Amino acid sequence: MSSPPRAPVPEQAASELLIDCPGEGVAVVRMNRPQATNALSLNLQALLSAAFTQLAADPAVRAIVLTGGEKVFAAGGDIKSMEGAGPIEILQRHTERVWAPIERCPKPIIAAVCGYAYGGGAELAMHCDIILAGEGASFSQPEIRIGIMPGIGGTQRLVRAVGKFNAMRMLLTGKPVNASEAQAMGLVSQVLPDEQVLPEALKMAALIASMPPLAVMQIKEVVLAGVDASLETALMLERKANQLLFATRDQKEGMQAFIEKRKPKFEGR
């Protein structure tokens, strides 16, 4: 498998984000600011944006694992970079453009969350498609405690994930929820012992990477597009995508392999 292209950034800056390809079709993106609990500095956000732009365009990558390591996922935004900023400066940062490559990535993204996922860290996890959390993980939107509110999707993605009443409790109190509560609310896909989170994420990513890539991308696209559409419109999108997949070689290969009782080989065509 080819290695994903890297952005031409200084070595010290690039070290804040590590990209690895541990298996066929799988890329791991690891935030690496342990001295700052992976706070999402402007530089780290730019590196994430560049990394997901590159990985989305790499045909060798079929699934992505996003992690902050074994101790912390990401403990929010970089407060020092925001404290003295005015509204025009915040507007001109255009965070919606920085985060767009993650939001619009056609490849499935699995968040492997250990430790804190607070503020921007929780919002980053909610940009992903599957969230695996360690038993010691916790999630919070604490922005209200410093006089602001979430600004990269926390109010909108959270309410869609957990419903109005749970979202309001988290947003208006700033209090964290643990992993088991987050799972019960619908924010987390699966809770695991901390040491099993990354291995399970890699195992799941490998399984997804072995699936037909065009079907994977169509499923993700239709699910996300259908969430805010009417049921009638969403069902129409589903039918059209399903019909389109019958034009692929992978559909022919998958069904023929099933009939012949052998393992299919999907090529993304």
Same domain, 164 and 250: no
Q: Which residue has the higher pLDDT, 147 or 85?
A: 147
* Residue 79 resides in a domain: yes
pLDDT bin (cut points 50, 70, 90) of residue 178 is: very high
Same domain, 54 and 110: yes
CA distance 73 to 62: 22
* Residue 156 resides in a domain: yes
Same domain, 203 and 218: no
Average pLDDT over residues 239-256: 95
Q: Quick check: 7 pLDDT over 60?
A: no
φ and ψ at 111, to 5 degrees? -90, 125
Average pLDDT over residues 88-95: 76
pLDDT bin (cut points 50, 70, 90) of residue 12 is: very low
φ and ψ at 161, to 5 degrees? -85, -40
- Average pLDDT across the chain, whole number: 91
pLDDT bin (cut points 50, 70, 90) of residue 5 is: very low
- Residue 27: give its domain's CATH number: 3.90.226.10
CA distance 234 to 236: 5
* Contact of 154 with 171, CB cutoff 8 Å: yes
Q: What is the reported pLDDT for 13?
A: 52
* Residue 44 resides in a domain: yes
Q: Quick check: 249 pLDDT over 60?
A: yes
Average pLDDT over residues 161-190: 97
- Residue 250: give its domain's CATH number: 1.10.12
CA distance 64 to 217: 13
Q: Quick check: 111 pLDDT over 90?
A: yes
Average pLDDT over residues 214-227: 96
* Residue 100 resides in a domain: yes
Q: What is the reported pLDDT for 83?
A: 66
Average pLDDT over residues 201-216: 97
Q: Locate all alpha helices (DSSP H) within the chain, ordered by sequence.
A: 11-14, 42-57, 79-82, 87-92, 95-103, 120-126, 154-162, 164-173, 179-185, 197-209, 213-227, 231-245, 249-260
What residue numbers bound the domain in which 201 lies?
11-209
Same domain, 139 and 227: no
- Name the nearest CA neighbour of 115 among 166, 162, 178, 167: 178
* Residue 5 resides in a domain: no
Q: Give the list of residues 6+ apart from residue 191 with CB closer than 8 angstroms, or none.
A: 132, 133, 134, 135, 137, 179, 180, 183
* Residue 3 resides in a domain: no
Token pair of 147, please? 């006089």
* Residue 4 resides in a domain: no
Share of the chain above pLDDT 70, in %: 92
Q: Count the neighbouring beta carbons within 10 Å of the beta carbon of residue 166.
A: 19
Q: Quick check: 2 pLDDT over 70?
A: no
Q: Scanning the structure block, which residue is given the tokens 């999907």?
A: 266
Same domain, 33 and 152: yes
Same domain, 163 and 250: no
* Residue 1 resides in a domain: no
